[in-house]
Amino acid sequence: MAFPQTRPRRLRRTGALRGLVRETELRPGRLILPLFVAAGIEGSQPIAGMPGVERHSISAAVERAAEAQALGLPAVLLFGIPETKDPEGSGAWDDEGIVQLATRAIKQAVGDMLVICDLCLCEYTDHGHCGLLRDDGDVDNDATLELLARVAVSQARAGADIVAPSDMMDGRVGAIRAELDAEGLADTAILSYAAKSASAFYGPFREAAGSTPAFGDRHGYQMDPANGDEAVREALLDADEGADMVMVKPAGPCLDIIRRVKEATRLPLGAYQVSGEYAMIKAAAAAGALDERSAVLETLTGIRRAGADFVITYYAAEAAQWLR
């Protein structure tokens, strides 16, 4: 028998030994901070459902990006909240729109910080859905592709290093890649929300971004959380259409999908620890049910261990401080 010659506990005896053989690395350079940038506000405004997270003016977003860079974070992911909305979501491709202005300001002030722009229409449409609506109230997939491509070009011209389509329309990665290339923006990378479930964990985000649908839901275009094979197919389709990176969202409930998508695509893979995951930890910590720091670092390590190359998380700045 192997025992007592083989004793795994030998390598757990001290912190130095545990660190020497640790398999999964977690460091600030693997974390991305989402930022909500809102038109028509000054400074920052707290978001009730996400303690510690705020909506920012452009100047406040620049300050936050600079702080993130100082902590070793490589990128911010921008979500825009416009002053006005319309059925087409035209503010999303306005060259003077909130995300475009924030992108220019951050790139000018914090040049080495990567700017990723979330690419969707839901924050900009007055109905809250992710595309143009047909007369029957359903989202018109193919008509929406032209608008998404227009948004991508506007964001790239503003200085976005990466555009991240989150709409889940079929064919959108190919349409975006073709339009970027045609406009001389071939260096702009695409991070596709390839496997995005219609999750119960998005609630606080919808409050933060003002993107709750005015009617119905998004189950017709976001994925059924029960489907793993479909998630892999979605990711492979996006890879074939030209995605440079893929994303799985949400992260915690989809650790198996993170592993499967990584193995299937071999592309750089991000996972989004979404608003509901963040809010749950915050609430449990506030109730004294768990240690916040330990819980956050454990969940982020688990996401990395599952196969994510980087994690988008509202805890990015705090985690970076703890890790340093």
Q: Which two tokens stand for residue 69?
A: 């860079």
Type of residue found at 324: R
Distance CA(217)–CA(240), nearest Å, equals 28
- Between the alpha carbon of residue 147 and those of residues 36, 89, 284, the distances in Å are 22, 9, 41
φ, ψ (nearest 5 deg) of residue 17: -65, -45
Q: Catalytic: which of 85, 107, 249, 262?
A: 249
Three-class HEC string of 44-66: EEECCCCCCCEEECHHHHHHHHH
Closest CA to 91 of 179, 155, 162, 138: 155
Q: Catalytic: which of 85, 196, 262, 282?
A: 196
- Between the alpha carbon of residue 2 and those of residues 10, 11, 13, 265, the distances in Å are 14, 16, 19, 39
Asked if 282 is an active-site residue, the reply is no
Asked if 249 is an active-site residue, the reply is yes
Cis bond upstream, residue 250 (ω within 30): yes
Distance CA(133)–CA(184), nearest Å, equals 30
Q: Are 178 and 24 in contact (CB under 8 A)?
A: no
Helix pair angle (58-70, 98-109), 10° resolution: 40
Residues known to be catalytic: 196, 249
